[in-house]
Amino acid sequence: MLHPAKKYVLFLMRTAISAAIIVFLGYKIDVSHVFEKIIESKFEFFIILGAIDLAAYFLRALRWQIVLRIWDIHVSTALLFIYLQGGRIFDYLLPSSIGGDVYRVYLSAKKSNSTSKAVLGIVLDRLTGMSAGFILAGIGVAILYLKKISVPHMIVVLVFIAVWFILMGILFSPKLELMVEAASTRSAFWAKLNTFFSSMVIARSNPRQVIYALLISFFIKSQEIFVAYFVSHALGLSVPFLYCMAFVPVIGFIIVAPVSISGIGVRESLYIFFFTAIGLTMTQAFSLSITVFAWMACMGAAGGSLYLLWWTFSSHKKSQ
């Protein structure tokens, strides 16, 4: 565990990184044009996105329920949906884009009386989501290639896809599990790692649930792609869907790294890197990124408010 002082220093460093990147990009783009684009955006596209977001979070709850059942944890879909809304608050308060996972572990651990099982549930939930995202990115690149449409940074996308599935092959390899088991007597770290891999065997022995979770993940990851696609249309940029399909999952994967606050700065840099290659200006790509983030933050605030209402009602009901 990190000392509280070190955590505070890391938080300040990540905040500084986010601020430094945004300030740097601010000198490279037309900030006034960014605000104009956002103000002039077409509201009807955000209504569509609101409906898609609601459906996607119901599916997230269903996927989480399926994954938890692998370790014999039974929680209703409705309650998991509420828990997900609570997690959205922490997605924007903690570093990286997985801050809410910490809170989700806390909530599901209370239901299962097992923190390790709750962690495994979140890990597998994330792994199926990321895998679905990279499969969709690969399909997007393949369709663009077959249509003989130029795919800028195609090598970058393909490298990330290849590295991810190599890592998944290693992670679920029985040989790695045996190596970790052999090293489990060396230290507490290896012992904990062995416990993790031993528990993951349960997931391998329940392929049907894992496949169900993966299939649902395709729809969930499509929501993230649709956000970028519809926001681009709301801003009048009209980015082709296949480019969003190829780039957005890779961007989503990279911003998971806890190097900035909620991916701020890193996300904008990646949108500029990928989308200027297909014809957007730096200002347009920055506008797209910041509007995507603003939309997700607004939906997170709405979801967090729903969770707080549920928590207040539940607390009041228990006190009676």
Distance CA 258, CA 264 (A): 11
Please report, for residues 73, 136, 180, 222, 294, the alpha-carbon distance to residue 242 in angstroms, rounded to integers and kept in the order given: 38, 10, 41, 11, 23
| Segments making up each domain of the chain, as ranges | 18-307
- Residue 187 pLDDT exceeds 90: no
Q: In which region does residue 238 sit, left (phi positive, over 0), alpha (psi from -120 to 50) or beta (all else)?
A: left
Q: Is the dihedral of CA 63, 66, 71, 74 positive or negative?
A: positive
Looking at residue 200, its pLDDT comes to 73
Task: Taking residues 218-222, report their average pLDDT.
Answer: 94
Return the structure tokens found at 32: 């006034």
Task: Report the alpha-carbon distance of residue 234 to residue 69 in Å, rounded.
Answer: 40
Q: Does residue 135 register a pLDDT over 90? A: yes
User: Which band of pLDDT confidence, cut at 50, 70 and 90, is reported for residue 96?
Assistant: low
Residue with the larger pLDDT of the pair 237 and 314:
237
| The most confident of 16-25, 32-41, 89-98, 224-233, by mean pLDDT | 224-233
Average pLDDT, the chain: 85
Is 155's pLDDT higher than 70?
Answer: yes
Residue 92: band (very low, low, confident or very high) from pLDDT cuts 50, 70, 90: low
Least confident range of 97-101, 104-108, 222-226: 97-101
Judged against a pLDDT cut of 60, whether residue 273 lies above it is answered with yes
What's the alpha-carbon Rg for the chain, to the nearest Å? 21
Q: Looking at per-residue confidence, does 183 or 132 come out higher?
A: 132
- What does the alpha-carbon distance between residue 66 and residue 80 come to, in Å, rounded to a whole number? 11
Q: What does the pLDDT read at residue 272?
A: 94
Amino acid at 36: E
**Per-residue pLDDT averaged across 123-141, rounded?**
92
Q: Give the pLDDT confidence of 69-91 residue by residue, as tens digits.
A: 888 888 899 999 998 888 887 77
Distances (CA, A) of 180 to 1, 51, 185, 191: 22, 45, 10, 8
Distance of CA 119 to the CA centre of its chain: 16
What is the band of 95 on the pLDDT scale with cuts at 50, 70, 90? Answer: low
Angle at the Cα of 111 (from 61 to 90), degrees rounded to 5?
Answer: 55
Between 137 and 259, where is the model more confident? 137
Over residues 174-203, the mean pLDDT reads: 78
Cβ contacts of 147 within 8 Å, gap of 6 or more? none
Residue 263 has pLDDT above 90, yes or no: no
What are residue 16's phi and psi, to 5 degrees?
-65, -40
Q: Which residues contact 135 (CB under 8 A, 6 or more apart)?
A: 218
Given a cut of 90, is residue 111 above it in pLDDT? no
- pTM, whole model, 2 decimals? 0.87
The confidence score (pLDDT) of residue 172 equals 80
